């Protein structure tokens, strides 16, 4: 029961408020509804619309107050419960969002977007199977709404049902060929199916239909990134950021700049992604730490990796790269602890076994280095660098004949391995095989001129440094 009659002035203001909301003029709409709730404090739809304006302005606490007021005045009206669910979803309180939307559905189960919203909440609660049931209900309630079928297709992708999703989208784009969201979803599905050229075509169609949507620009940039067309991808990701800066756009912009070796720009992009991520993305932190290492900003890199270890202690690549960083700053013992942590997570990582051997070699622990590299060799028997590393360590130990067998295997696997040819020359020199040593050294220098200068002072080559052929180098 209203305490005051709804006068013509009320009707005009209410109409104005609705029009302002429809146009997205939320600040102006809020002013209208502030006046209306002051003059007519017991009309639930006014409080509901005020709650919507506040929600859109991200004034969530005030929005909840307004919607609770609407519910108190008319508890059997579905819309305030639905809008309350939107507020809770916006602030990440998904269980409360689910309770509110369920209440709305209980009051009115014939509104498709209630079910669609419930589906989105269930996805956020990591319950895609139940989300699929909800979106199917939305389609049943409103079969002509193409958005629901698009959302269903996205869910099928989440569930790994790519072919079903593709069939759904094929049917949808025939019925609604001008629905940009469908083409965006199709592009991302084709990415999952590794049909990148087809994905690019779908992304281009989405962009033509939705040129003001940041996601259209993002998808095309992302597909171009996957196609390794980095310079072509840059303007699309930048445009996406100009429309609406999102972490995924900044992330892939950082990845592209890293591949282009624009390290400072890459660092800036990853930092911008982290600023707007709700929670720090481990991949963003990992790539930021890695690129800081490439840029020789080792202390900053270590800080980033340390943060990542706390967020995701099972991210073994982070332990691996952190170990490399510590080795580069002259802390091999600390590096050894971290590489052991990486190997405790992934004991069959050839990459980490190779790095552990390298760290042990830095510590002059050649026996253990060789032992670790042999484990790596069992996993990757054709890795020329491992054969070469074992050969070089055996050379340092004075086991020249055994060293040569590993070095020659490295050369067999990669005849352009200059370091292996140089180490072969050193081993042969120590065995007093002057001509074969010179032959190997000449090949090493032909592959990389730096070995000519190195050879002048290398004690392993002392036996050939006075030979005529050496003096002619």
DSSP character string of 147-215: HHHHHHHHHHHHTT-HHHHHHHHHHHHHH-TT-HHHHHHHHHHHHHTT-HHHHHHHHHHHHHH-TT-HH
CA 88 to CA 97: how far, in whole Å? 5
In this structure, what DSSP letter does residue 365 have? -
CA 408 to CA 415: how far, in whole Å? 9
What is the per-residue pLDDT across 228-263, written as a single tens digit (0 to 9) for each? 999 999 999 999 999 999 999 999 999 999 999 999
Q: Helices then strands (H, E): number in the chain?
A: 28, 0
pLDDT confidence of residue 14: 82
pLDDT of residue 208 exceeding 80, the answer is yes
| Mean pLDDT of all residues in 15-34 | 91
Local confidence band at 8 (pLDDT 50, 70, 90 cut-offs): low
pLDDT of residue 2 exceeding 70, the answer is no
pLDDT of residue 40 exceeding 70, the answer is yes
What's the whole-model pTM score?
Answer: 0.75
Local confidence band at 1 (pLDDT 50, 70, 90 cut-offs): very low
pLDDT of residue 3 exceeding 50, the answer is no
pLDDT confidence of residue 158: 85
pLDDT confidence of residue 6: 55
| Mean pLDDT of all residues in 274-285 | 93
pLDDT confidence of residue 75: 87
Mean pLDDT score of the chain: 94
DSSP character string of 29-64: HHHHHHHHHHH-TT-HHHHHHHHHHHHHTT-HHHHH
What is the per-residue pLDDT across 90-123, written as a single tens digit (0 to 9) for each? 999 999 999 999 999 999 999 999 999 999 999 9
pLDDT of residue 400 exceeding 70, the answer is yes
| Mean pLDDT of all residues in 333-352 | 97
Q: Where are the domains of the chain?
A: 386-473
pLDDT of residue 163 exceeding 90, the answer is no
pLDDT confidence of residue 173: 84
What is the per-residue pLDDT across 303-313, written as a single tens digit (0 to 9) for each? 999 999 999 99
pLDDT confidence of residue 7: 62
383 with 414: CB under 8 angstroms?
no
**Top-level CATH class of 386-473?**
mainly alpha
| Mean pLDDT of all residues in 38-43 | 89
Local confidence band at 181 (pLDDT 50, 70, 90 cut-offs): confident
| Mean pLDDT of all residues in 144-149 | 88
Question: Phi, psi at residue 452, to the nearest 5°?
Answer: -65, -45
Burial 272-305 (b: 16+ CB within 10 A, else e): bbbeebeebbbbbbbbbbbbbbeeebbebbbebb
| Mean pLDDT of all residues in 6-11 | 70
Burial 199-211 (b: 16+ CB within 10 A, else e): bbebbbbbbebbe
Residue that has been written with the tokens 């281009």 in this structure: 204
In this structure, what DSSP letter does residue 57 have? T
353 with 376: CB under 8 angstroms?
yes
């Amino acid at each position: 029961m209203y305490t005051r009659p709804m006068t013509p002035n009320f009707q005009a203001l209410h109409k104005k408020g609705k029009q302002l909301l429809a146009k997205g003029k939320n600040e102006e709409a809020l002013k209208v509804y502030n006046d209306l709730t002051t003059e007519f404090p017991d009309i639930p739809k006014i409080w509901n619309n005020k709650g919507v304006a506040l929600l859109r302005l991200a004034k969530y606490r005030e929005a909840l107050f307004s919607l609770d007021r609407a519910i108190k005045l008319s508890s059997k009206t579905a819309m305030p419960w639905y809008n309350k669910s939107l507020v809770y979803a916006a602030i990440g309180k998904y269980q409360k969002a689910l309770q509110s939307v369920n209440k709305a559905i209980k009051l009115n189960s014939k509104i498709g977007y209630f079910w669609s919203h419930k589906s989105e909440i269930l996805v956020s609660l990591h319950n895609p199977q139940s989300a699929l049931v909800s979106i199917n209900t939305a389609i049943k309630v409103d079969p002509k709404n193409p958005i629901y079928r698009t959302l269903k297709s996205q869910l099928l992708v989440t569930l790994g049902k790519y072919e079903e999703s593709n069939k759904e989208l094929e049917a949808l784009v025939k019925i609604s060929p001008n629905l940009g969201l469908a083409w965006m979803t199709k592009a991302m599905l084709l990415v999952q199916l590794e049909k990148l050229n087809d994905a690019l075509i779908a992304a281009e169609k989405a962009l033509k239909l939705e040129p003001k949507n940041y996601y259209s620009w993002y998808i095309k940039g992302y597909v171009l990134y996957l196609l390794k067309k980095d310079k072509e991808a840059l303007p699309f990701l930048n445009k996406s950021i100009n429309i609406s800066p999102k972490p995924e756009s900044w992330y892939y912009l950082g990845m592209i700049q890293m591949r282009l070796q624009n390290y400072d720009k890459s660092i800036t992009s990853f930092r911008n992604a982290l600023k707007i991520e709700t929670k720090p993305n481990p991949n963003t932190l990992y790539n930021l730490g890695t690129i800081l290492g490439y840029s020789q900003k080792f202390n900053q890199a270590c800080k980033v990796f340390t943060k990542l270890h706390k967020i995701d202690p099972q991210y073994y690549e982070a332990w691996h790269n952190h170990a490399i960083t510590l080795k580069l700053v002259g802390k091999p013992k600390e590096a050894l602890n971290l590489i052991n942590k990486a190997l405790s997570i992934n004991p069959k990582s050839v990459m980490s076994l190779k790095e552990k051997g390298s760290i042990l070699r830095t510590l002059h622990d050649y026996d253990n280095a060789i032992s670790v590299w042999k484990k790596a060799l069992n996993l990757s028997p054709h890795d020329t660098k491992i054969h070469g590393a074992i050969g070089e360590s055996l050379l340092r130990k004075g086991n020249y004949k055994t060293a040569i067998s590993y070095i020659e295997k490295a050369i067999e696997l990669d005849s352009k391995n200059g370091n292996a040819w140089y180490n072969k020359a050193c081993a042969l020199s120590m065995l007093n095989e002057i001509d074969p040593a010179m032959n190997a050294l000449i090949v090493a220098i032909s592959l990389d001129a730096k070995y000519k200068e190195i050879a002048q002072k290398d004690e392993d080559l002392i036996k050939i440094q006075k030979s005529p052929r050496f003096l002619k180098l």
